[in-house]
Amino acid sequence: MSETLAPDLCVIGAGSAGLSVAAGAAAFGESVVLVEKGRMGGDCLNTGCVPSKALIAAARHAQAVREAAEFGIGARLEAPAPGTAGALAPVAAHVRSVIEAIAPNDSVARFTGLGVRVVAGEARFADPETLRVGDLSIRGRRFVVATGSRPLVPPIPGLSDVSYLTNESLFDLEDLPARLVVLGGGPIGIEMAQAFRRLGSEVVVLEAERALSRDDPELAAIVTARLRAEGVVIREGARATAVSRRAGGGVVVTVEGGGETRAEAGSHLLVAVGRRPDIAALDLDAAGIAHGPRGIAVDARLRTSNRRVFAIGDVNGGPQFTHWAAYQADRVLRTILFRFGGRLDPDVLPWATYTDPELVQVGLTEHQARTRFPNVSTLSWPFSENDRAWTERDTTGLVKLVVGPRGRILGAGIVGRSASELAGIYALAIAGRLGVRALSGLVLPYPTRGETARRAAVSYYAPFAGSPVLRRLIRLLKRLG
């Protein structure tokens, strides 16, 4: 029998963005219906952030065993050879256990307890005011589309004829690849390349442009240099033109670049060239919602062309990060509940690539800042001048501040161990429109890597030390006692 619901808010998609909106609205007493066609928690919990970081952690421990002798510790890594059946099973079990530990936070039971009605099924709009899920009709006062994204599979000849991996299938592997070919040198491709290399696989990354092209080239080069030193082959300017089965199993990728054509063979192929919005089943046209290849079109307050409907997270074509989705959820809640405070500020966005060393950008890169502001300068401080880095025998990397007029901090790039844990200082400074003076006055525990924030900021004042005016002032003050 059909049923019609009329909630204050209907959220489509139970990933990080949708869950944040649903929980927030319910906390303020709004009636909320949450629709999800797959697993609660979405990509981040099940096939993205959580499993990838769990796999990276396992790989980091494998590398720590290899490097133990540098700390005077005797240790030997005992790992099955790549290609051995079940070689990756213990690591896969670790990844699953992490997902299972976090899953209750995103579960149907928890959200039902918060007062949210959770509906399982595929949603589609019937008209601008009605959503249908099977026989159920939902006429919400407001709708939030948060259906996320799916792996982008490029139209490379032969790719559809071979077996390949994406982030949706990678973490189900129980056999360690003998040789992993990675299509795409963005954060996902580079993170997984290093992780599988550390677990024992041979790895080659094929990138049509520059690896980690969104990041500061100086900082990205430090990451790629480390991967190459660990044995990862990274081919930049290498465009995949064809894929075929390899005799005896595996794949062969034909690559063009640098005026030559070459073949890269592998036991496994990982496609990590980007993601596409998951909107095909929604019938957006029926709801009068404008959309295109990049996703749903939204205004500065994340409202679609249908004023009842908002779109947040990966589905609106913006930066594809869990924390950015949560930030958008907060903005939309402000607009829906209070009618103010819902505008986005893209200049405060941080992002991280969880390689070793980690790579972080907060706010504007140097290139972005120079296209928008006059008198931009950079300040940097290397971890080779940081005592904590020496105690850990890992001095690779640096902090780079992008400074605008009157010393305002516009951006910060960090490459080094635990860089993502240092991002908070800079995120606060940029969101608060603070300058180098604020950072230079910080008192931080010693020894910590966070001290680099203060040291970089203090270097802003170094040129003033030789100022004739200041030196005359100092001499005058000395005469006065």
- Taking the complete model, does pTM exceed 0.85, yes or no? yes
* Domain range for 115: 3-151+276-346
Asked whether residue 352 is domain-assigned, the answer is yes
337 and 361 together in one domain: no
Q: Which of 129, 56, 140, 35 is nearest to 355 (CA)?
A: 56
16 and 109 together in one domain: yes
146 and 165 together in one domain: no
CATH number at residue 408: 3.30.390.30
What is the Cα gyration radius of the chain? 25
Does residue 347 contact residue 363 with C-beta atoms inside 8 Å?
yes
pLDDT given at position 376: 96
Asked whether residue 443 is domain-assigned, the answer is yes
CATH number at residue 208: 3.50.50.60
15 and 135 together in one domain: yes
Asked whether residue 481 is domain-assigned, the answer is no
Tell whether 190 is in a known binding site. Answer: yes
Q: Which of 355, 57, 320 is nearest to 191 (CA)?
A: 355
Tell whether 147 is in a known binding site. Answer: yes
Domain boundary among 273, 302, 334: 273
Asked whether residue 89 is domain-assigned, the answer is yes
189 and 282 together in one domain: no
Tell whether 244 is in a known binding site. Answer: no
Tell whether 353 is in a known binding site. Answer: no
Does residue 227 contact residue 194 with C-beta atoms inside 8 Å?
yes
Element (H, E) at 193: helix 187-199
Written as one string, the DSSP assignment of 273-299 is S-EEE--GGG-GGGGT--EETTEE---
Tell whether 53 is in a known binding site. Answer: yes
450 and 397 together in one domain: yes
Tell whether 187 is in a known binding site. Answer: yes
HEC per residue, 380-416: EEEHHHCHHHHHCCCCCCEEEEEECHHHEEEEEEEEE
pLDDT given at position 472: 78
Asked whether residue 262 is domain-assigned, the answer is yes
64 and 38 together in one domain: yes
Report CA torsion sign: 93, 313, 417, 182: positive
Asked whether residue 246 is domain-assigned, the answer is yes
Count of C-beta atoms within a 10 Å radius of residue 237: 13
10 and 49 together in one domain: yes
Domain boundary among 273, 301, 325: 273
Asked whether residue 234 is domain-assigned, the answer is yes
144 and 177 together in one domain: no
Q: Provide the Cα torsion 399, 405, 408, 413; round to 10°.
A: -20
Q: What is the mean pLDDT of each run of 10 residues along the chain (481 residues)?
A: 90 97 97 97 95 97 94 86 85 96 97 98 97 96 97 96 96 95 98 97 97 96 98 97 93 94 96 96 97 95 97 95 95 93 89 98 96 94 97 97 95 97 96 95 95 94 74 78 71
Asked whether residue 42 is domain-assigned, the answer is yes
pLDDT given at position 250: 93
Tell whether 289 is in a known binding site. Answer: no
Tell whether 99 is in a known binding site. Answer: no
**Preceding peptide of 293 cis, ω within 30°:** no
114 and 175 together in one domain: no
82 and 163 together in one domain: no
Domain boundary among 291, 314, 346: 346
The total of structural domains in the chain comes to 3
The CA-CA-CA angle for residues 276, 280, 283, to 5°, reads: 140
145 and 8 together in one domain: yes
**Preceding peptide of 177 cis, ω within 30°:** no
Tell whether 149 is in a known binding site. Answer: yes
Q: Provide the Cα torsion 394, 400, 401, 402; round to 10°.
A: -160
